[in-house]
Amino acid sequence: EAGVAQSPRYKIIEKRQSVAFWCNPISGHATLYWYQQILGQGPKLLIQFQNNGVVDDSQLPKDRFSAERLKGVDSTLKIQPAKLEDSAVYLCASTNLLEAVNEQFFGPGTRLTVL
Amino acid sequence: GENVEQHPSTLSVQEGDSAVIKCTYSDSASNYFPWYKQELGKRPQLIIDIRSNVGEKKDQRIAVTLNKTAKHFSLHITETQPEDSAVYFCAASGDSGYALNFGKGTSLLVTP
């Protein structure tokens, strides 16, 4: 089966610019997560969707970050305006809660560098 | 919220030796404990997981143990090989499907 797809793979922007990331989960996976992984640290949840509804966005910096999953499939994560500390890898993951083993499958990530 | 501590941050072993990575968690409601392996520039991949109703689980050269009373769990890799070199992350969550709370990772180096 195809894995989680993300684009772009790399992005370099200057601070105060805007950027958007795209994620296409594994077909049939209703649950989608966005994680932020700063260099040398473990991934940290930004937002979790169940279909097109938000389950958990408690750690999303809502003054600059936004995310949507309008049709319950693809998702976009936006940062506006970006700060230096937003430099990180943004990982998308998905899972199917109806399966016996609810493994979270991760995409390859988008590496963001803010200059 | 859940806080996961992971030790050591770096670990170097000789090929064929065993490696042990330990994690502690703070939320007694956590019931699902996966371990992910992340090679440089690659995505995290699940290598083994355990649920709170199980004390130990083994898959070939890797095993995970869980002590719910003490709130700690460990990853054991036996007969290490150079291809085991990677960063390993432990995580905890209320159950599978819930968002994962990750430790900071252990960089494992297996030298021939």
Q: What is the pLDDT of residues B32-45, one digit of tens each?
A: 999 999 999 899 99
Q: Tens digits of per-residue pLDDT, B71-112? A: 999 999 999 999 999 999 999 988 767 889 999 999 999 999
Q: Is the pLDDT of residue A5 over 70?
A: yes
What mean pLDDT is predicted for residues B47-69? 93
CB contact under 8 A, B105 and A48: no
Token pair 């473990």: residue = A42
CB contact under 8 A, A104 and B104: no
* pLDDT attached to residue A1: 55
Give the pairing type, strands B62-67 and B106-111: unpaired
| CA closest to B105 among chain A residues | A42
- Percent of residues, chain A, with pLDDT higher than 70: 96
* pLDDT attached to residue B98: 80
Question: What amino acid is encoded at A82 in this protein?
Answer: A
The alpha carbon dihedral of B53, B21, B9, A102 has a sign of negative
Question: What amino acid is encoded at A14 in this protein?
Answer: E
Q: Which helix (H) or strand (E) holds A106?
A: strand A105-106
Across the interface, which of B6, B34, B99 has its CB nearest the CB of A56?
Answer: B99
- Percent of residues, chain A, with pLDDT higher than 90: 86
* pLDDT attached to residue B96: 64
Question: What amino acid is encoded at B13 in this protein?
Answer: V
Which residues have CB under 8 Å from A79's CB, separation 6+? A18, A19, A20, A64, A65, A86, A112
* pLDDT attached to residue A96: 85
- CA pair distance A18, A85, nearest whole angstrom: 14
